[in-house]
Amino acid sequence: MTQQVQHGASLDWRAPTFPLAIAALVAPLAAVLQSKAMSPLGLVALLACILLARLRQGAWPWPRGAAFWSGMALAGWGALSALWAIDPRRSFSEGLTLIGMVLLAGAAAHAAAQDAPEQRWKLGGALLIGLGIGLAAALFDHLSGNALRAGVRGLQEVPASLAFGLKPAASVMALLLPLLAGAPLAPRWRIAALLLGLAILLAIPGDTAKLAAVAGILVAGAVALAPRRMPRVVAVALAAVLLATPALLAPAIGLIGARVERLPPSGIHRLLIWDFALGKAEEKPLTGWGMESARIIPGGEARPDPLRLGVADPNLLAWFTQPQLRLLPLHPHNGPLQIRLELGWVGAALAALALLMLGLAAARCAVPAAAAGALASGFVTFFASFGVWQNWWLCAAALALAMAAALPARR
């Protein structure tokens, strides 16, 4: 098929790729206005993609491959953890939710990858436009003191807490940004778009999102230079980091030692969270405490004690007198540690296997740089930010996976 046809064909609303293209146009701005909107948006787009594939192809696009089955194994282990979990109903529910998400992501990715190339080509353009709108809105909101999101909410005054809402949006856009490696642009303009998006993400709030964006662009660039070897290197590296992190956190905390008071109070709190979670993980090393149990781990409701790390500065000690502080909040703010705490070494091994298989699958995508870059960006966010099982983030990740599979080879 010629490049002229690729660019000139109209977007067919009956094509499986069509819902993904609409989501690519809408998701970045929706995330800026309300990050939780990623849940319904992602679910509707993935379901519509699957249903349209069934109507067009006459058969259900059943997912397949090692990445899918390893993801199902992890989700199944999470559901099984209800047998020993603190809150069996929550663990079983979260396990079933993850099973459904893996099924949706796998089926939509298979359906989109089988769509006509002229329809898949449009997805890169939709991503380019959607990210442009979302990044511009985020930058305007940041520079205007969050006036955009305050206006949408009908607020006369902008509360200080509203600034936090840009951080999840930045993480979503950092996840999608590497997919521009498959945008229908000349190479120099594609690079310019990636760098411009990175510059805007570096300018708005969200430290983890900044790191994720940098990681995604660097990995996408490395894979573009070595498309056969680098995805495998990335896959092995990410899986190894996931497995090794819980074992390395304790020595890292010890190395900080007397220098702990140089950290900001929130950083010291993070160390106390990790120290507590590591101790609890050792109590149930093989199976863990059950999926989504971090929020109700015994002792987690206690107040953090900075004296445990040798903190003596009165100003730092005063910060820890805030009544809302907990030794372990809803999650330990570290994905590998949360999996190790909740699902034990079995769950950690299954998660590492799923990550490895996803990385290897990225090498087989039509645009491996886009797929591997999005995987690296998502891993950084998983490593240091939200709870592992938050539905809105899982929907965003599933949507990015399907989009990565749908992007056609560049012409």
Name 156's Cβ contacts closer than 8 Å, sequence gap at least 6: none
pLDDT score at 160? 74
pLDDT score at 153? 85
pLDDT score at 239? 97
> What whole-number distance in Å separates Cα of residue 387 and Cα of residue 381?
10
Of the candidates 111, 120, 122, which has an alpha carbon nearest to the alpha carbon of residue 57? 111
Alpha helices of 291-390 — where are they, by DSSP H? 314-319, 335-362, 368-384
Name 23's Cβ contacts closer than 8 Å, sequence gap at least 6: 41, 42, 45, 399, 403
pLDDT score at 411? 60
Please give the backbone phi and psi of residue 246, each rounded to the nearest 5 degrees, phi first: -60, -35
> What whole-number distance in Å separates Cα of residue 4 and Cα of residue 329?
54
Give the chain's count of helices (H) and strands (E). Answer: 16, 0
> What whole-number distance in Å separates Cα of residue 339 and Cα of residue 352?
10
| Residue whose token pair is 């902008």 | 158
DSSP 288: -
pLDDT score at 293? 96
> What whole-number distance in Å separates Cα of residue 21 and Cα of residue 276?
44
Name 193's Cβ contacts closer than 8 Å, sequence gap at least 6: 128, 180, 183, 185
Tokens, residue 142 = 């940041």
pLDDT digit string (tens) for the chain, length 411 residues: 334 334 445 668 889 999 999 999 999 999 999 999 999 999 999 999 999 999 988 899 999 899 999 999 999 999 999 999 999 999 999 999 999 999 999 999 999 999 988 889 899 999 999 999 999 999 999 999 898 988 888 887 877 778 788 999 999 999 999 999 999 999 999 999 999 999 999 999 999 999 999 999 999 999 999 988 999 999 999 999 999 999 999 898 888 877 888 889 989 999 999 999 999 999 999 999 999 999 999 999 999 988 888 888 899 999 998 888 999 988 999 999 999 999 999 999 999 999 999 999 999 999 999 999 999 999 999 999 889 999 999 999 999 999 999 999 866
pLDDT score at 1? 33
* C-beta neighbour count of 153 within 10 angstroms: 14
